[in-house]
Amino acid sequence: MTETTWGRGSTAADPSESTATDQRWQLVAPPLVRRPVRFHRNDPRTALAVDLGRIAAAMSRRLGMGSGGMIGGRLALGLQPKALQKLAIGRRVVMVTGTNGKTTTTQMVAEALRSRAPAVSNATGANMLDGHVAALMTHLDAPFAALEVDELHLAQVTERFGPAVIVLLNLSRDQLDRVGEIRTVEASLRRALAQAPEAHVVANRDDPNIVSAAFDHPNVTWVSGGARWKDDAVNCPRCGAHLGDGDQEWRCACGLTRPDAHWTVTDCGLRGPDGRMRSLSLNLPGHVNRINAAFALAAALESGCELAPALERISRVHQASGRYSTVALSGRTVRLLLAKNPASWLEMLDLVSAHERPLVLSVNSREADGHDVSWLWDIDFESLRGRVVAVTGERALDLAVRLHYAGVRCRVAGSVEEGLPPEGGDVPDVIANYTAFRDLFARSVGA
């Protein structure tokens, strides 16, 4: 019989109602929320760096040069290389990383934390060290922080301080010419967790690459929602042995094994460690966001939030930095969807397959996207057969060739606006990769 702590600060079920017969549940009092240590009282260098960083960020916004989410933090780090460590003192920081879903999950975590106390977040998606510093210095008294972090930069963060909670979502091929192979990223995550033994990890038990990264850590909560994209996780990340279907139970000869889930997302809702089902009623569409919500809730509970208020705040989230938002684009209303690699395209195509809205696909190949677009051939565009779609972007012709071989009728347009059908009828969906999406959202905001 084991003793398990569930949902710190949550409203757990009566232990007698638990369906688990081999566990007994103990409610643990939530940690106290303390205000961060005000470093400026005895650290003039950090105070100066923060003041000048804030001025730079404000000027960037005022001059229309950006949100200031990077320049302010970059200046502060230049003046005080230890700014991240200093600003993290006294806060409970939740770091969220993975190939897909970071921005949305981070926003959900931030909202859940705000059910308990003020929280800061790098909501603009600036997910490297300068973006973290910029976020932390926006509200020096906020005791919580939810920070999205690039997969390859988590180790740099944990070299500087120990986050309270680290969320590991997934790993899939993305920007191979910049990031490298998944095994490189997995090794970096494993090193990052080894540097943060006191952190609590919330990890994806359905992704063998994430399982490998978190398997040796002493404090892990495992979340399960099913694995739709499986092409990057058929072999053991540690020894290379074939694992088979990641959705099935597996055990590798090297000792790596699929762990039991604490939180499970089903078609009916969310099953917690106590065995009880809870409904998931979200403003964001798709099964993928139900999984993101489960990660956010688990992270919030480990940070001392109560279940009901945290879940209610998560359910309010309706867009994250423009993702899933309905916007005006040159006078036309469209819904913007982000898909930047095969795994996320799979989810977005599944989302739009539920209806017959007009559809525009836009793909660029700039540095932030990765110049190589061979990944287009890994996407199941065959699911669009029977529909006519418009394609645009810098790699519209590559996309059109791929759709031709998928048996999908398409027309090439010079812009998203040109690709839209005549006004009237359903609101069109626009699926765009990273820089195409970023440019569209910026234009809609500036309209």
Active site residues: 372
What does R_g of the chain's alpha carbons equal in angstroms?
A: 22
3-state secondary structure the chain: CEEEECCCCCCCCCHHHCCCCCEEEECCCCCCCCCCCCHHHCCHHHHHHHHHHHHHHHHHHHCCCCCCCCHHHHHHHHHCCCHHHHHHCCCEEEEEECCCCHHHHHHHHHHHHCCCCCEEECCCCCCCHHHHHHHHCCCCCCCEEEEECCHHHHHHHHHHCCCCEEEECCCCCCCCCCCCCHHHHHHHHHHHHHCCCCCEEEEECCCHHHHHHHCCCCCEEEEECCCCCCCCCCECCCCCCECCCCCCCCECCCCCECCCCCEEECCCCEECCCCCEECCCCCCCCHHHHHHHHHHHHHHHHCCCCHHHHHHHHHHCCCECCECCEEEECCEEEEEEECCCHHHHHHHHHHHCCCCCCEEEECCCCCCCCCCCHHHHHCCHHHHCCCEEEEECCCHHHHHHHHHHCCCEEEECCCHHHHCCCCCCCCCEEEECHHHHHHHHHHHHHC
252 is in an annotated binding site: yes
254 labeled binding residue: yes
Q: Residue 305 annotated as binding?
A: no
Q: Is 268 annotated as a binding residue?
A: no
Largest Cα span, the chain: 67
Binding region for Zn(2+): 236, 239, 252, 254
Binding residues: 236, 239, 252, 254
